[in-house]
Amino acid sequence: MTYAKKTSVSVARSKAEVDQLLRRYGASDRMSAESETQGLAFVAFALGGRNVKVVLPLPKVEEFSTRQFRGRVVEASEEWQAKSWEQACRERWRALILVLKAKLELIEIGASTVDREFLYDLMLPNGRTVGDELAGQLDGMQQVPLLPVGGASSG
């Protein structure tokens, strides 16, 4: 089940809530932007001496060009397409607020740090994030098993 599946909170209101949330937890230089053609939005801010850029993948309008109707796939009307896309964007923004609240609260109470909670999203001097730099490298790394393999006993 998708979080905030039936939310009626507008994207504009969610963006304002993100800004208010970041301000409340001491973030400065707050900004957000959205590109419908690229299918993404981002929220950037400074916190704890770090610059953070959280990218939010958004659906593209074209993803809603068809729909299920009476067990068949049919071409969607422009109205249905626009409403479905808007709803999907609303859900994503609400999910972002949920994640940001959790991370910022952990930092606030001393249970975590900015680096730990936003490592993937930390901005580097070249304008890319740590995640941008590491994403391709992680795929080629050998995975270490979570539990010992072989003759280890459990005590």
pLDDT, one tens digit per residue, over 90-112 is: 999 999 999 999 999 999 999 99
- CA gap 84, 39 in Å, rounded: 15
Tell me, what's the pLDDT at 71?
78
Q: Confirm whether pTM is higher than 0.75.
A: yes
Q: Where are the domains of the chain?
A: 11-130
**Residues 64/84, Cβ–Cβ less than 8 Å:** yes
Spans in the chain with pLDDT lower than 70 = 1, 67, 69, 150-155
Largest CA distance in the chain: 63
- CA gap 137, 98 in Å, rounded: 29
Helix (H, G, I), strand (E, B) or coil at 112: coil
- CA gap 89, 47 in Å, rounded: 26
Tell me, what's the pLDDT at 152?
56
Element (H, E) at 155: none
